[in-house]
Structure 1
Amino acid sequence: MSDKQKKFSALKNIGAPVVLMLIIPLLLASCLDDFKGIKKIKVKDPYNPAFAVPVAHVNASLMDMLRFANQDSLAQIDPDKFMRLIYHGHPYKAYLRDYVRVPMQTFTTGPFKYATSNDSVRVTLPVYLSDQTEHVFNFNNGEEITKLKIKSGKLIVRLRSTFRKSGDIDIKINDAKLKNGSDFIHNVAFSFQPAGETFTYDTFDLSGCYFDLSKGGISENTIIVNYIITLNPNSYYIRKTDAFNISISFDDIEFSYIEGFLGVHNIVYTPDSMLLDLFKNVEANKIQFFDPKIYIHFNNSAGIPIRIQPPDISAQSGIYSKQLTGSVLSAPIDLNYPSLQEVGKKSYTLFLATYQNSNVRELTNMAPSNFVSDLDITTNATGKNRNNFATDSSYLTADIVLELPLYGKAKDYRVEFDVNLDSIDMSIIEHIQLNVLSKNEIPIDFGLQFYLADTSRNILDSLVTSSSMLIKSGQVDDSGKVIKASQALTSFTLNKDILDANPDFKKIIIRAQASTLNNGNVNVKIYASNRLEIFTSIYIKLKIDL
């Protein structure tokens, strides 16, 4: 490749950095990297040492910009096109079935004996032994259950007999129903072993069974079981020492419905961190949202009082952290819950922090990188309530939302990045002029500063005066809404004198700055329909020996 070809090849590489200088004010900070791959501008006539090139025409609404930055999913647009940014924490959902548990219950009854004063007696007719016993369920958290419908589980029956007779036992539970709606009766047959004791093991599927544990409405956790044993006649004598023992167990019980006092439980909540990429790569000195809000939407489908202690919410920015404070945190949150007549429904409770009842403005105005939240959740914190209920699908959800209505003011909202030029031969450049014509309906002034720096980012010079604003804000009314677009034509120059004075120049540090009207001292409203239109051209003069 000849020296002339190398110089013109290097010239082509200038195009992308210049376009970046123009476009940067339009970008949200989170999408800057997407523009680093802009195609290089092609020079139509490589032998003309001075020429003008139209660089770009941009005509975009704020919604277009959000869509380009892959942030449009955050935008909520009101019917009048007013915009809000909505951030959600990670969804939280807890099921009551993970806390209200029916532990394994084992009850023993016996010994059953045949009443006789003799050491042994021959009986040629069936022998009946029976008993009615109350069994009380034990729970781990003080639950007092009155109704229980079983989704899955089993009844385990263990029989031990020294009677030398076969037979069967009916296990009848009062106020209990089988899956088909009939009274609960379970029969177990047994056969005696002449050589010793008789052991029998039996299981019964309890799926769909229903138990009233209230003893007719006067108690809780109690079942009344009738045991009826039948010993079939045979030639063996009944001995005075013969005995029959019974053990029943309720095992692996999962409920489909449970009612009563469901105990005091601390519901686990893992602290959540909400990433706020609005401030990614952004230096924000003074940014103020006028009406930010923090919502926590609670939905409770369990019929149980649930108390949330004042939420622990903080904003974090680097090493700094600030807690949410204010009257909104003066008392715990007692969640609404469905009544016994509303099984299958859910009740809604709202926690809302605004600038009127909290310091939420201070949190959002510190340009946080994330919000961290923690919840302390307890059931039945205020005492016993025997009208609790839960189904196997009863749940509690919490959705933490940060709402940032685009109404407020910003001063020196900044973002910066580097453009490396060490591969470009600066000796061919005599003069570069960038012309920008803008029409702006957005109530924000956009400015640019270009710092010439060496490879270590030591600043050598700047191209734009600190007071220059590349694009002027649209004109607003008293409410902060744009009523008229502004127009401006701006030019800036990189010439040979600047290049000669800075021989170590290898990098441009581009700093974009945005401020609302009047240098960030006026509250403005941003609408999705606000548009920004820009026409740009570059005039380039080369120093080339043909």
Structure 2
Amino acid sequence: MKPHYLLLLALVVSGLTSCNDQLEDLSQIDETRFSAEYALPLIDSEVKLKDLIGDVTDNVSLSVDPDGLLRFRYSGEVPAVAGDVIFARLNALGQGILLPITQRRQAAPFAGADDVDIDEVHIKSGLLNYSLPNRYDRPVTVTLSIPDATLDGEAFVISGQLPAYSGSGTPPALSNPDAAVDLDGYILDLPNDSLYFEYSIRDDAGNELEPVDGTVVTIINLAFSYMEGYLGQELYPGGRDTIAVNFFDRYLEGEVYFADPTITITMLNSFGLPARALVDVLSVIDLDGNVLPITGQGIDDGFDFEYPRVPGEEATTVFVFDTSNSNLDQILSARPVALDYEINALVNPDADTDILGFLTDSSAYQAKVDVELPLIGSADRFTVRDTVPLNIVDQYENVTEVTFRLTTKNGLPIDLEAEGTFLDANDNAVADLTNGELTLLQAGPVDENGEALEQVSLTQDIVLAGERLEAIRSADRLVLTFRISTAGGGTDFVRVTDEQELIVRLGAIIKVE
């Protein structure tokens, strides 16, 4: 992938490096012809910058603001963080509950932690077994109910009649050892963090009797899909990630300054709980490997992000670090190559027990980060380098001279100068493309908003002949060095917009013997 600052100049560069296909036809010239000249039009293109806009890679895009300003966006995201911590605590409670029934109304404690006050949970799996014996010498009716456990609005209840106990052997019992009750779909209301069981054992005369030894309920493998209430204060660590900012990948020297860079953090949240984003790491890694922390109040204090009030919905919060609330302008002037970040979430940051929320087993939060570099600012001989592979071999031995004529009409507020060196397979410099520095684009004056006032035309020739042409035959690549400056010799702040136009005409005059 070519660096993004060369994207807008791709037509120029492709013209200088695509002549091989045209020359290949010349290798078939009839050898009986002694000399000839051929004029080949290579490029005749007129393009506005909006025609070059589109996705550059999966994580890099070039977009247009409503006013036409172009901006590069480098994007990253970490995997979503689910509500596993609280659910794990609650599920642990239900892996094995053994509840002897010793009184008519009995509470089973049901709380995940001291600071958690759960009001309601929904069960997605679990099995309930019971053994309700009769040790009395008369027939009885036994009834076990859980008033606060409902399925489709109906409370859980089982009931059955038992014969009198003979006084020896195993007493009769209502039980389900081979047919456990499937609790999937039950909703539990939990007043006072407890689940209440009600048990009745009554004889035929209607007398209420006391539960007997061996009356027991067991619940195993409980798991939950939903909970609500005050769910405590909890820190959810976010993943750490790095966004590559390859604007400076081929940087050599010079200065560039972006006027309004931003780092945008987007929090996607389906936790039904108040939460605060805590920026644990937000640093730029520069071209020299230095780690430069970004500072600002949003990093020191974090920022609250919105949460949904209805299960299944997702809330979005956008927080922007810019030059008004951080040191971003200074940091991004240091030629960054990567952004290192980690965003954590503190649930119930103010520990306000009056604020009730919910979690589902699919609830999650996710941090997405975008680094945006709007093409407004200045550059003073910002120098980059790129390498183009070549395949020029001896089949072009009949070509004795090539003259490229480059004509540009530039509506961009930038100057572009280029040098080129041909290298062979042993890294030897065998020829120079331009005999020094060549101006490819020349900027005209700009208005008070930094936009170009006019297009500037420029025509020049590149002649390859004699020893230079012979030397190029052994080259396997061309190293191009570009120096970019904004209008006014790098002193003016300029804007690059989608309506600015670039006209490129490139032709070649080829002499053969």
Cα distance in 2 between the residues matched to 1:396 and 1:539: 62
**Closer, same or farther: CA 88–228 of 1 in aligned 2, 3 Å:** same
Give the CA deviation at 1:484.
0.9
Secondary structure of the structure 2 residue equivalent to 1:455: coil
1:311 Cα deviation (Å)? Answer: 4.3
| Inter-CA distance 327–38: structure 2 relative to 1 (3 Å threshold) | farther
Q: State the secondary structure of the residue aligned to 2:217.
A: strand
Query: Which residue does 1:225 correspond to in 2?
Result: 197
Give the whole-Å Cα distance in 1 for the aligned partners of 2:216 and 2:10.
Answer: 78
Change (3 A) 1:514 1:167: farther
What secondary structure sits across from 2:488 in the alignment? helix
Tell whether the 8 Å contact from 1:308 to 1:377 is kept in structure 2 after alignment. yes
**Cα separation, 2, equivalents of 1:91 and 1:390:** 23
Alignment-derived partner of residue 139 in structure 1? 112
Counterpart of 2:153 in structure 1 is 181
Match of 1:269 in 2: 238
Aligned to 1:406: 375
Contact 1:432 1:541 in 2 (8 A): yes
Offset of 1:487 from its aligned partner?
0.5
User: Contact 2:251–2:382 at 8 Å: present in 1 too?
Assistant: no
Shift of 1:435: 0.9
Matched, 1:50 2:42: no
Counterpart pick for 2:338 among 361, 364, 370:
370
Tell me by how many angstroms 1:532 deviates: 1.0
Q: Shift in Å at residue 247 of structure 1?
A: 2.5
Residue 388 (structure 1) aligned with residue 356 (structure 2): yes
The 5 Å alignment of 1:200-349 reads 200=175, 201=177, 203-214=180-191, 220-230=192-202, 243-249=213-219, 251-256=221-226, 258-281=227-250, 283=252, 285-317=254-286, 319-338=289-308, 346-349=314-317
AA aligned to 2:21 is K
Name the counterpart of 1:451. 421
Moved more, 459-468 or 427-436: 459-468
Structure 2 residue aligned with 1:82: 69
- The CA distance in 2 between the partners of 1:361 and 1:345, in whole Å, is 36
- Quick check: 1:464–1:492 contact (8 Å CA) kept in 2? yes
- SS state at 1:457 partner: coil
Residue number among 430, 453, 458 corresponding to 1:483 in the alignment: 453
Are residues 37 and 133 of structure 1, via their aligned partners in 2, closer, same or farther at CA, if it must alter by over 3 Å?
A: farther
Q: Deviations over 1:227-259 (max 9, x none)?
A: 1135789xxxxxx99733212326423133x22
Q: Contact (CA 8 Å) 2:134, 2:140: kept in 1 or not?
A: no
Deviation of the 1:409 alpha carbon: 2.2
Distance of 1:36 and 1:98 partners within structure 2: 59
CA distance in 1, matches of 2:98, 2:396: 93
User: Which of 343, 351, 355 matches 2:319?
Assistant: 351
Match of 2:100 among 102, 106, 109: 109
Aligned with residue 62 of structure 1, among 35, 45, 49: 49
Count of aligned positions: 484
- Residue 3 of structure 2: aligned partner: none
Percent of matched pairs sharing the same residue:
18
TM-score by length of 1: 0.76
| Shift in Å, 1:301 | 3.7
Specify the SS of the correspondent of 2:419. strand
**Unpaired stretches in structure 2, ≥5 consecutive residues:** 1-5
SS state at 2:295 partner: coil
Amino acid in structure 2 at the alignment position of 1:221: D
With normalisation by structure 2, the TM-score equals 0.80
Please report how far the alpha carbon of residue 221 of structure 1 lies from its aligned counterpart in structure 2 after TM superposition. Answer: 0.8
CA distance in 1 between partners of 2:369 and 2:503 (Å): 37
Q: In angstroms, what is the RMSD of aligned CA positions?
A: 3.9
What's 2:124 paired with?
Answer: 152
Question: Secondary structure at the residue paired with 2:77?
Answer: coil
Give ranges in structure 1 of 5+ residues lacking alignment: 1-22, 112-129, 215-219, 234-239
* C-alpha displacement of 1:298: 1.9
Decide which structure has the larger Cα Rg and report it.
Answer: 1
CA contact (8 A) 1:309 1:332 kept: yes
* CA separation of 1:83 and 1:263: change in aligned 2, threshold 3 A: same
**Conservation of the 8 A alpha-carbon contact between 1:28 and 1:66:** no
* Compared CA separation, residues 440 and 384, structure 1 to 2 (3 A): same
Secondary structure of the residue aligned to 1:361 is helix
Q: What is the identity, as a one-letter code, of the residue corresponding to 1:354?
A: D
The one of 491, 494, 499 equivalent to 1:524 is 494
Alpha-carbon contact 2:401-2:469 (below 8 Å) kept: no
Does residue 480 of structure 2 align to residue 510 of structure 1? yes
Going from structure 1 to structure 2, the CA distance change for 1:346 and 1:28 (only over 3 Å counts) comes to farther
Distance 1:100 1:243 in 2: 34
Give the secondary-structure state (helix, strand or coil) at the position aligned to 1:520: coil
Matched, 1:379 2:370: no
Of 21, 26, 39 in structure 2, the residue corresponding to residue 39 of structure 1 is 21
Q: Which moved more, 1:320-329 or 1:95-104?
A: 95-104
Change (3 A) 1:84 1:141: farther
The one-letter code of the counterpart of 2:63 is: Q
Partners of 2:225 and 2:311 lie apart in 1 by 15
